[in-house]
C-alpha cells in the first residue's frame, strides 16, 4: 500500500513550482511558444542550403538521376562514333569492287598485304605481271610500285559478280547473262578459258576441261 504522505509532498512541490513560475511571468505556455514546431524545422531544412545561401539543396536522388542521364548520353555518343567508323571502313572499298569479295581491294600495297596475310606462299611472274599469292588461294597482281592491280582467285568462298570457283562455264554464262569468249591457253596455263567483261573488269575463268569446273579466276581492271 503506497504511502499517502509521499503523494501529498509530491503534489505540494508541483503546486509551489507552478506558482513560482507564474509570479515570475514565465508561464509554461510562453516556453512552448518559443520552440518551433517539428514540421517547421523539416521545412527549413529542405529549403535552405547548407551554406546558408537560402537556395534549395538538390537531394542525393536528384544528383544520381543527373549522373545516370549523362552516362546514357555518353554511351549513345560512343555508339554513334562506332557506327560512323564502321561505315567509313565499308566505304574504303571502291563501289565498283563491292561485287568482288576479296579480303583486300585493288590499290592495296604489298606491305599492307603482308601485314594482313603474313608471308606469301607464291611470289613470281605470271601472265606478264608479278603475282603474290597468300594461303595458296588469294592472289594479287602487282604493278611497278608493288600496288595491287588485279586479283588471282582460287578460293571458292570468294565471289565475283555472283560467280565463283567450282562453277562451270555454262553456269557462269547464265549468271552473267551472256556467253563469254571461249578459248584455250596453249602458251602458259594449258587451261580452257571463258572471258567476260563486266563493268570495269576483264574476268578470265579457267578450267581443265571445257565442261569441267573452274579452278581459278583472274580479274584485271580493264579501265
Residue 207: give the domain boundaries: 98-221
138-142 and 201-207 strand pairing: unpaired
Per the model's pLDDT, the better-predicted residue between 54 and 178 turns out to be 178
Please check whether residue 82 lies inside any domain of the structure: no
pTM: 0.60
d(CA 49, CA 35): 22
pLDDT tens, 28-87? 444 434 455 444 444 444 444 455 555 555 555 555 555 555 656 677 777 776 655 544
Per the model's pLDDT, the better-predicted residue between 173 and 67 turns out to be 173
pLDDT tens, 77-130? 777 766 555 444 444 567 878 999 999 999 999 999 999 999 999 999 999 999
Give burial (CB, 10 Å; 0-12/13-18/19+) of 77. Answer: exposed
DSSP conformation letters of 2-30: --HHHHHHHHHHHHHHHHHHHHHT--HHH
pLDDT tens, 131-144? 999 999 999 999 99
Q: How many domains does the chain have?
A: 1
Please check whether residue 195 lies inside any domain of the structure: yes
Closest CA to 204 of 215, 193, 212, 190: 193
What is the SS3 assignment for 92-144? CCCHHHCCECCCCCCCCEHHHHHHHHCCCCEEEEECCEEEEEECCCEEEEECC
In angstroms and rounded to an integer, the radius of gyration of the C-alpha atoms of the chain is 45
Q: The domain that contains 164 carries what CATH number?
A: 3.40.33.10
Please check whether residue 158 lies inside any domain of the structure: yes
Question: In 3-state terms, what secondary structure has residue 35?
Answer: coil
Please check whether residue 21 lies inside any domain of the structure: no
Please check whether residue 56 lies inside any domain of the structure: no
Please state whether 54 falls in left (phi above 0), alpha (psi between -120 and 50) or beta.
left
Q: What is the pLDDT of residue 112?
A: 97
Compute CA distances 148 → 78, 205, 219, whole Å.
35, 19, 11
**Chain position carrying cell 529549403:** 47
Please state whether 197 falls in left (phi above 0), alpha (psi between -120 and 50) or beta.
beta
Mean predicted confidence (pLDDT) in 205-218: 97
d(CA 147, CA 119): 16
Amino acid at each position: 500500500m503506497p504511502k499517502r504522505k509521499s503523494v501529498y509532498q509530491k503534489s505540494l512541490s508541483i503546486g509551489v513550482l507552478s506558482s513560482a513560475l507564474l509570479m515570475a511571468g514565465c508561464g509554461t505556455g510562453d516556453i512552448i511558444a518559443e520552440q518551433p514546431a517539428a514540421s517547421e524545422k523539416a521545412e527549413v531544412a529542405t529549403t535552405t542550403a547548407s551554406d546558408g545561401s537560402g537556395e534549395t539543396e538538390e537531394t542525393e536522388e536528384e544528383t544520381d538521376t543527373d549522373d545516370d542521364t549523362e552516362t546514357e548520353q555518353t554511351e549513345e555518343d560512343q555508339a554513334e562514333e562506332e557506327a560512323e567508323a564502321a561505315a567509313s571502313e565499308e566505304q574504303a572499298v571502291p563501289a565498283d569492287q563491292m561485287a568482288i569479295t576479296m579480303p583486300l581491294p585493288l590499290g592495296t600495297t604489298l606491305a599492307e598485304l603482308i601485314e594482313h596475310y603474313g608471308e606469301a606462299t607464291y611470289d613470281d611472274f605470271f601472265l606478264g605481271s608479278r603475282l603474290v599469292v597468300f594461303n595458296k588461294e588469294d592472289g594479287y597482281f602487282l604493278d611497278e610500285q608493288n600496288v595491287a592491280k588485279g586479283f588471282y582467285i582460287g578460293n571458292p568462298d570468294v565471289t565475283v559478280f555472283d560467280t565463283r570457283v567450282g562453277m562451270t562455264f555454262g553456269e557462269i554464262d547464265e549468271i552473267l547473262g551472256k556467253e563469254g569468249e571461249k578459248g584455250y591457253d596453249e602458251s602458259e596455263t594449258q587451261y580452257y578459258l571463258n572471258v567476260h567483261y563486266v563493268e570495269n573488269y576483264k574476268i578470265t575463268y579457267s578450267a581443265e576441261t571445257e565442261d569441267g569446273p573452274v579452278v581459278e579466276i583472274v580479274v584485271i581492271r580493264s579501265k
